[in-house]
Structure formats: structure tokens, C-alpha cells
Chain A
Amino acid sequence: MTTEGLAAPAAIVRSRPAWLDTLLGQALALVASLGIAVLAGAVLIVAYGESPVEVYSSILEQSVGSVDGIGYVLAIATPLIFSALAVAVPFKAGLFNIGVEGQYIVAMVVAAWAEVELGFLPGPFLIIAALLAAMLGGMAWAAVPGVLKVTTGAHEVVTTIMMNGIAVSLVGWALNFPLHFDDAPEGAFVDLRTNNFPEQGLVGDLGRMFGITQGAHLSWLLLLAIAASFVVWFLFRRTRLGYEARAVGASPGSARAGGASIGAVQLKVFLISGALAGLVGMQQILADRGHLPQNYIVALGFTGIAVAFLGQNHPIGIVFAAILWGVLSRGEVALQIGSDVPREFVIILQGILILSVVITYQIARRRLSARQLQREGTVGELADAAAPSDRERAREGEDRESGAFAPADDRER
């Protein structure tokens, strides 16, 4: 795609390049949806007889108003990036993994087992072993619905939900028997949990060097999460599997005709999703608690679905969506002190935000398509020789953003 110069000069003068158009359109859609959510929230706040400015500023104060707040926001975002990626990857291939919840719970058990049993390993190796164990655990739990989907056609939404229930019971069993905390002093009542993980097996605190409170437990896992989102981006933009997955997602029939094995692609995508899901629980057991407690944080997998939608299933968009989610979550903490607005307000706000993001993105997408077509027409008039390739490029750009099946020249990269 180095034929940029072929386009007629007049067209370049009159319009921005397609990618900039797309970027601007999406940025505007995001700002608009934020605006809609903030405004609808303001109406609710006024209905409660409080000041929107005060409420919103207390939310911002608690989230980004201090280094501690930022630390908390990023620590909240860390697991959500993983879980949203785990949802987005199969979504691109037309699959809906609702089982991230169960996959990360199982992964926590497997990682806890690795931490407890492999305590003789030196620091970095133990952490890597635990992370690998978690990814394998998540993959194993995702493999069951994946294989069922490919071999029997059992719908992944149903099977993954069922696997979630089994996962919850599995933790209860593991904590009572194989991983039971046996170092507790006689007579002390301690909650049900695993033994403490060895000191060298815990992921280091990232926040301390920025003066962030230890209570936030901001860890290096944040960087791993951001790296994972780039890996996912690379997977879908630059690899054969990613290309095939998008093709299967857009049109299984065409993909099969194009030579892709649908079953193999679906299974691979599910396994990658499971591996990402496996890392969701690592923030709480390797950075926050240092053991697997029975009252572990739940629903991170389900929240990941919301975050993935908010980020429009784009790996980089997901990182920002997770951070935005963290800001709103901190808002819940803020609202409970010195405000009559109930904490559920934040949940409503999150819901409105997702709705408005979906709507505004759809509008932006349509507008962009219309513009592309329009420009195509102009270019065609001015330079008919260049028009065919230009038309193809324009369509590719637009299809790529909607995650649809891209034409053949994409494969050459």
C-alpha cells in the first residue's frame, strides 16, 4: 500500500486521509457519548437534589485528583484490560465468551497451586511459573466449550455460562482440601484461604516509586496488561490467524471458501481468550492479597464484557475503556462519603455510557462510510485511472474498523 501518490492532487487538497477521518470520527463519537452520559447523569443528580458539579468533581477528585487515586484507578483497570481483551478476541471471530468469569477463577486456583507448590523457585521464575499456570488454567477451562463448539456445535454462550458455575464450586473445594490454609495458629479464626505465597512469588509494587499508597496495590501487571493489548492488536492486524479469525467472524462461508478451517480458527481463538482470561485474577492474588481468599473479587469477567464494548473491541480502545471504568468505580467510593446520591448512580452512569458509545459509534461509522463513498465519487470524476484502487482502499479502511472481512490484499502484509 505505497501507492498514495496515485490519488489525484485535487482529492488530497479537499479531504484528509481516510485513517485520520476515522480517528477523528471515533474521537468525536467518544466525546459525544461521554457528553450524553454526563448530561443524563446530571439530570439524575439534580433529581436527587444535589449539585452535578459537586458530585462530578468529587468523583474526579477521588479518582484522578491525587496520585493515590490514580494508583487505585490503574489497579482497578489492570484486571479489566485482561478480561476485556479475553472477550474481544473471540468476539472478532464471531464468538461470545461469557466464560471469562469461570476461566479466571480456575486460573487463580491453578496459579495459587503453582505458588504454593513451587515455592523453591527463585523470584522471577516463580512469578513466570504462576503466570504460565494461570494462562494454562484459563485455556483448559476455555478449551472445553471450545472443543464442544467445534465438534458438536454446542453454543458457546450456554456452555461457558455452565462452566462458570462449576468454577465457583471448584474454588470452594480447592480451598477446603488441597490448598487449605494450614499455617494458621491454633485457635485463631482466619477466613478460608490458601497458604501465603512466598515473598519472592509476589509481583512487585509499581506505585511506590510514584508515591502511590501501598493500599492501591498498583503492580507491574499493569504493564503486562498494556503489552497484552499490543500483542492482541498485532495478532489481528499482522498475523494469518488474526486475519482468518476476522474472516470467520465476518462471514464463515466466505472464510471457508477462502481456505480457512473454521473449527481450527475458532478453537485457537478460544484458547487465546482463555489464556488472557487466566491473567485476570493475577492482580488480586499476586499483587493485592498474596494468597487466594474465599472472598476473592468476583464479576471481573462480566465487567470485561462491558469494558470490551466500551472500547469497541479495539485492543487499544480497551485500555482506555478500562481506565475510564476505573475512574467511575472510584466514583462509587467518593459518592458514599458526603453525598446523598446513592452509589448505584455510578452503575447507571456506566450503563448509559455503554449505550451511548454503541449508538454514537454506529452513527459515526455510517457517516464515515457515506463520506468515503462521496469522496470516491469525486476522485472517480477527476482521475478515472486511479479510481478503482482508491475505491478498494477506501472500502478496506472502513471495513477494517468495523472488524469485517477485509479484501485479499490485507493478507500480503
Chain B
Amino acid sequence: MGSWRTRLLVLVALLSVVAAACGDDDGDTGAGGDGDGAAAECNQDITVGMAFDIGGLGDRSFNDAADAGLQQAIEDGLVCEENTETNEANSTGSDRDQNVQALADAGFNLVIGVGFAFSPGINTIAPDYPDVNFMIVDGFATCGTACGLTNDAEAIANVADFTFKEHEGSFLVGAAAALKCECDTIGFLGGQQGTGLIERFQAGYEAGAQAINPDINVLVDYIGDDTTAFNDPVRGEALSTSMYDDGAEIIYHAAGASGAGLFNAAVDADKLAIGVDSDQYLTASPEQQPLILTSMLKRVDTAVYTAIQQTGDDSFGGSLVFGLAEDGLDYAKSNPDELTSDIQEQLDEFKQQIIDGEITVPDAPA
């Protein structure tokens, strides 16, 4: 009879025994190590799980901003660190919804979906988890069947969409561009065209620039019409270079990772650029930094922090829209050499006027 089989069987059996032995050892130490950390002063009553979309932590932008909100909440004792968990979708996006459901199954009180793509999945499963609060950054889950989703808002009272008035923040950086360059041409580099989202950035930017100089010419270019437009720095650089060549003195981008191309083009043209979502001055290379006038800050961290706070004091419920008044948007002040204090004063004035309702910023291009 085949002695190789016997040998193979013995080998496999041996190996599995070894594996089991290793496991037992580790299991013991693992169980013993859970005792510490109880002394920290934090709210033990809630647990928070956060699901990232494709890309996950380390994007120096949207996802990292969400994590910053969670870390701030931990620091402020709103939730204990050991009661938090994050996960992220794989590169194909196939387990995006599974990750959310796994967090809900694990019994987290608050489950945060970072990105609009979580909306359909959370809309579907939310009724099965009435005791779990779901918050979606940029979400549209509560739009319900009108937006083609499974459940209407009444059936998912435990879901909240936290969105932003990106046009208000874009208004400020548009005004900053016009104030800075005192020129007649500036540019806007958009990511994905056609969904109405990036058009909001464009509308606010144009309105802000026109508030300073009604005759200003805003060149507009979009990278593409699907999500790959947010991840195409090569095309971003080509379009930016051509806008700089056409006379744009400053270009603002709302193009995600494609924006890296804008900063490269700015270095080549030796002209100014404006970042988006997070303070991109902080993550730019040394030769790019002096050219980044400012960034439109979308305070995803504020949204995450707010959701955790609400869950802690039982006030969670209903979607929120974060504008300038809610500290949901801002502009970055990391480059005072270019964004001088007198420009900042005027921007703060605009900010107050928007908050007071004296200026209404359009959310679609004219």
C-alpha cells in the first residue's frame, strides 16, 4: 500500500498537533492580559464601531479625518478606547456591507459608516438592529425608497445621515483665491462630474470669487464621470497644467487623490493651489507647501465626534447637515505667508455673514 500516503497523513497529523499546541499557549496569555485599562476615566456605557470604505485609514484625508474625530472622542472620555473598533472594505468593495453588519452583530451601540457608499447596505439592515445607532458620513440612507433604497426613513429611525454644506466652505476659499491673486482668471479642478456633489464645491467657489470680483473668469475642468476620477493624479496634473497655461493664477481642486496632480502642476507653473477636505498643507512635500494657499476643511471629525456625543447622552436621532454655523466646514490657516492676516479677516467676515444668513451660497453652478 502507498507508504507515501501514510507518511503524508502522519505529517499532517503532526503539524495540526503542533498548531494546536501553539494556539493553547497563546490563548492562555491572551486571556490573562485583559485586566488593564479599566482605570481610565471614560464613559464605559457605550461602544463605537467604525467602518471605512475602500482605501481606509492612512488616506491623509476623508478617512483619517473621521478617525481623528474618534480619537478626539476617546481623548475626551466620551468612549473608552477598548470599546472601539474599526474595519475597512477590501479593495474590491465586496465586504463593505458585511463589515457594517459584523459590527452591528458584535453589539456596538454606534456604528459609523464613513462614506456615502454605506447608505444602501445600512438602509437594508438597520431595521434588524433597532438598538444600534447608525451614522453615515455623507450618507443618503434616510432618503429612502425615493432614492431607490429598501426602507423609508420612518422604518429606520436609528439611522442618521450626516452631510455637509460643501458650497459654504468652498465660498470662503473662492473668496480667498480672488482676494489673493487680484487677477481675472482662476481655476477649478473637479473629480467626478454628474452626481451633483462636486458641482456643489464648484458653485460655492464661483460664488465666493464673484463676491470679490464680479467679472472674474473661473475655468472649470472635471477629470471624469465615474469614481476613478478621484484617483487619477496624472490626468489631474495634465488638466491643471492646461488651466495654468490658460491664465489661471490659482486652482482649487475637489478631486480626491487626483488633487496630487494639481500640486505637482502648481510646482511646475510656480502658481498657487487650494486643497480640499483636510489641511493638505500638512501632508504636502516641502516644495509644494509654499504654494498651497489654503484648504477647504470638511470637518468629518466634527460629524463623528457629534455622533459619539449624541449616543453617549441619548440624544442620537435624525440626520444633520453641517454648515459653517455648525463648525462643519472651515478654511486652513497653515500658510500665513500667502494667506495673510488681512485676507483671513475678510474671510472671517464672510463666514459670519453666511452664518447670520446675510449671504446665501448657491449649491449648484449657475
Contacts and interface: CB of A to CB of B under 8 A. Distances in A.
B147 A188 contact: yes
A403 to B, nearest CB: 23
Contacts of B339: none
A146 B59 CA distance: 41
B148 A333 contact: no
B137 to A, nearest CB: 13
B204 interface: no
Interface in A326-371: 329-330, 332-334, 336-338, 343, 367, 371
Given A181-B148, A188-B143, A215 B27 contact: no
B128 A176 contact: no
Given A35-B16, A191-B117, A295 B146 contact: no
Contacts of B9: 28
Interface string A157-181: 0000000000010011101100011
Nearest to A21: B2
Interface in B228-246: 228
B279 interface: no
Given A172-B226, A329-B94, A185 B22 contact: no
A31 interface: yes
Most buried by B among A49, A52, A336: A336
Contact of A215 (B11, B124, B363): B124
Interface string A47-86: 0011111101000001000001000100010000000000
A196 interface: yes
B87 A299 contact: no
Contacts of B2: 367, 371
A38 interface: yes
B166 to A, nearest CB: 10
Nearest to B138: A189
Contact of B99 (A175, A181, A333): A333
A50 B226 contact: no
Interface string B13-24: 001101110111
Contacts of B88: 336, 343
Nearest to B227: A294
A213 B125 contact: yes
B98 A190 contact: no
B366 interface: no
Contacts of B179: none
A39 B15 contact: yes
B20 A53 contact: yes
Given A289-B120, A333-B98, A190 B147 contact: yes
A118 interface: no
Contacts of A31: 12
B125 A51 contact: no
Interface string A285-319: 00001110111111110010000000000000000
Interface string B126-155: 001000000000101001001110000000
B103 interface: yes
A337 B194 contact: no
A260 B20 CA distance: 55
Contacts of B16: 35, 38-39
A184 interface: yes
B35 interface: no
B101 interface: yes
A39 B18 contact: yes
Nearest to A55: B23
Interface in A192-231: 192-193, 195-196, 213-215
Interface string B257-298: 000000000000000000000000000000000000000000
Contacts of B15: 35-36, 39
Contacts, number: 171
Contacts of A183: 146, 148
Contacts of A176: 194, 225-226
A218 B5 CA distance: 39
Given A28-B8, A190-B140, A367-B4, A52 B117 contact: no
B13 to A, nearest CB: 9
Interface residues of A, number: 66
Contact of B195 (A189, A303, A337): A189
Interface in A343-401: 343, 367, 371
B148 A298 contact: no
B98 A330 contact: yes
A181 B195 CA distance: 10
Contacts of A303: 92
B226 A294 contact: yes
A214 B128 contact: yes
A306 to B, nearest CB: 13
A181 B140 CA distance: 15
Contacts of A195: 148
Contacts of B365: none
Contact of B12 (A32, A46, A49, A298): A32
B147 A185 contact: yes
Most buried by A among B19, B22, B97, B225: B19
Contacts of B25: 51
B318 interface: no
A54 B18 contact: no
Nearest to B49: A337
A173 B91 CA distance: 22
Nearest to B104: A215
Contacts of A196: 148
A39 B146 contact: no
A337 B120 contact: no
B20 A72 contact: no
B224 interface: yes
B326 interface: no
B85 interface: yes
Interface in B19-72: 19-20, 22-27, 30, 49
A144 to B, nearest CB: 22
Given A189-B197, A213-B128, A332 B92 contact: no
Interface string B95-127: 101110111011000000000110111001100
Contacts of A333: 87, 95, 98-99, 102
Nearest to A24: B5
Interface in A1-56: 28, 31-32, 35-36, 38-39, 42, 46, 49-54, 56
Contact of A54 (B30, B120, B124, B195): B30
Most buried by B among A49, A300, A337: A337
Given A35-B15, A188-B147, A213 B101 contact: yes
Contacts of B87: 333, 336-337, 343
A297 B11 CA distance: 40
Given A215-B125, A333-B99, 8 more contacts: A35-B12, A38-B19, A51-B25, A53-B19, A188-B146, A190-B143, A192-B225, A371-B2
8 contacts: A39-B18, A172-B228, A184-B146, A189-B140, A215-B97, A289-B120, A333-B87, A336-B86
